[in-house]
Structure 1
Amino acid sequence: MKFVKIIIFSLLVSSPSLALAGVVTTEFNNGDSLAGWSADRRAPADFKIVSNQLEMTILGNDLVASGFHNTQGMQMNIESSNILSIDMFIDPTWTLDQRYGGIWAIGHQASDAIGGWPIIEYHGTMGLSVWDNNGWQYPTAALFNVGEFNNLMFMATGTAIEYYLNGTLVYSDTSGDVDHFGGVILNAKNVGNDYTVVYDNLRYGTVPEPAPLALLGLGLLGLGIMRKRQK
């Protein structure tokens, strides 16, 4: 396994876009199209590429009566993937006890029916929050790096959904029946205040064993490899 990690690490450094044929990387460079994205529950105030990064803006005066629709975001089809990750900047001003932003997966069963919606989010003073078919969970030992980009990742193993923060396994869910991911959702919760979530380096695809474990050991990051400058 160590040898596999070294090989994949070398490939990521020398040619990240070609490191694994089954992995798609979206860097959100200036001029890139966002035409593949559509509103999830309700569109955010803004969703655009700025300075080679993706910005999703929530405006507090955009609240509606339905709490369900105050979770605002955009989704995109990722076909049939067993890995999904993104880099997200943790703003030091996010100090309230609220859901700020994160990444959601649309989980599918082997039959392609919906099997669940795994979620990893930054929850302000509570830190990490994850969602499985039993509801919200709070892995207290998992720490974000505030003022930096952090990598959020899911892997569908066939028997569980594994949740990773900066390459470290923080939670494993066996409560549902998710075989693969068919979509990605970038969502943030509107509770009446203005803020912007900055993302970079969306990655998804299908990778056979033993590559996923090696990738996860590396964090499948661009942190220090592919990640562009912090905003």
Structure 2
Amino acid sequence: MLGDAGYTVIVPAWWTPDGRRRTKVRLKTALRSPKGTAAVSHGHFSLSTIIAYEYQLSIGGQVVSEEEWQQLVNAKTPLVQFRGQWMELDRDKMQQLLEFWQTHQHEEPEITLLDMLKIGAESEDDLEWDYDEGLRDMLSRLNDKNAFAPIPDPHALQGSLREYQKRGVAWLQYLESLGLNPCLADDMGLGKTLEVIARLLKEREEAGSVPPTLVIAPTSVLGNWRKEI
């Protein structure tokens, strides 16, 4: 109101929207291999990859104990000094987060990557994520849009890829590099067979010695395979 009235208002940095120390529940996560299997590779994973997790209480990105949190909830003033810095308290919100943490802290400490992605999509700003190096690298590559740059036609391809097909081949190559199984869902007649052939040829062009590939397809496309390889 004072600002709208033309007055200059100066407040401490910690009381501004950008500088405010926010109370959150942190989800600390790390890649984990199922019992009896080899360690998870940073290069290959699936939506069933096991993620170990732990809920923590957090203020301004710092982990807080339950006792410290409870002391702040019980404070009789909305402004307190915590770990050398002043902060504004929303005790109702902090109580809700504390109850959430108390409810979930004893859950089974493992979820799948798919479940973790669902939680991230559905969660609000009150949930803070803390990834280990392997998981951070995995998610970074999942969000790397540069991986979808169209690729040139393989030299052995008997034909030419259109721009959308080049992007499709890049998408196949990108997901396979992550250990995922892509599914092309282009409409009939848009050249899915040619894209798959281009991907297989590109793989052999770059890697050299590659094991045989099993192709299960309708007999109606066998002629295309013969002409385009």
Q: TM-score, normalization: structure 2?
A: 0.26
Q: Kindly name which structure, 1 or 2, has the bigger radius of gyration based on alpha carbons.
A: 2
Structure in which a larger fraction of residues adopt strand: 1
State the structure with bigger RCO (CA 8 A, min sep 6), 1 or 2.
1
Q: TM-score, normalization: structure 1?
A: 0.26
Structure in which a larger fraction of residues adopt helix: 2
